[in-house]
Amino acid sequence: MIKNLPMRLIQVFNILVVLTFSLGCSKYSKELPKDFSFEIIDETESYNSQSGCFTRKAVTDNFTDTTVIYDLSQQDKEDIYKVLIENDILSIPKSFECASDAQFMLPAFTTTLKFQINGIAQEIKFNTSCFPKKEESEAIKFDNIVQYIRKKLLSKRIIQQLPKTEMRFIYTPTKKGLKHTFKTFLLSVNNQNYALVK
């Protein structure tokens, strides 16, 4: 029995390793979850995959919003879900803190991503008030997800045909990853320009 003890310990260790790996992988299902949904909201646009509502803000001089209904296809949802799990969405924090060497800017803008996966509902907020973030690698993952969703939505003809927003946010950053040095920020509303120069 004493001779067999080391081998049994090795077997137990191997089983624990396999179980740990399996549990880690089971965080996401390979197939699109039946309850999968998301909502993305920023300063000028928002989209809710459950209702199919895409809203663009301030598309007229009177600041009127416009909304269209567009239901993403099953393939679109699968593509977006794949990007979420590739970037390990469940490991991304709900909010981000400024790094100790961060540079700050105002006005600041927030992108919110709400989602549900296999009964897990979460909300992530990213604010542009400072760069870089303390959680820089997770911030890059979040940016990958947001940019992919935006690209997917803006590729749809019904959304392309919408009038453009009257709100303009223009800046001239130097960029390395998500590390920005903001030099000029210009907000244009109803042909009135408001500039912040740093």
- The superfamily (CATH) of domain 29-166 is Mago nashi (3.30.1560.10)
CB 24 within 8 A of CB 16: no
- As given in the structure block, the two tokens for residue 89 are 């969405």
Cα separation, 177 vs 188, in Å, equals 27
Burial 52-75, CB ≥16 within 10 A → b, else e: eebbbbbbeeeeeeeeeebebeee
Position 67 scores a pLDDT of 94
Position 63 scores a pLDDT of 73
Q: What is the DSSP letter of 89?
A: G
Give, for all 198 residues of the chain, the pLDDT tens digit.
Answer: 445 555 565 554 454 444 444 444 468 998 999 999 999 999 899 999 999 999 999 876 677 899 999 999 999 999 999 999 999 999 999 999 999 999 987 778 899 999 999 999 999 999 998 989 999 999 999 999 999 999 999 999 999 999 888 876 655 443 444 444 333 334 444 344 433 333
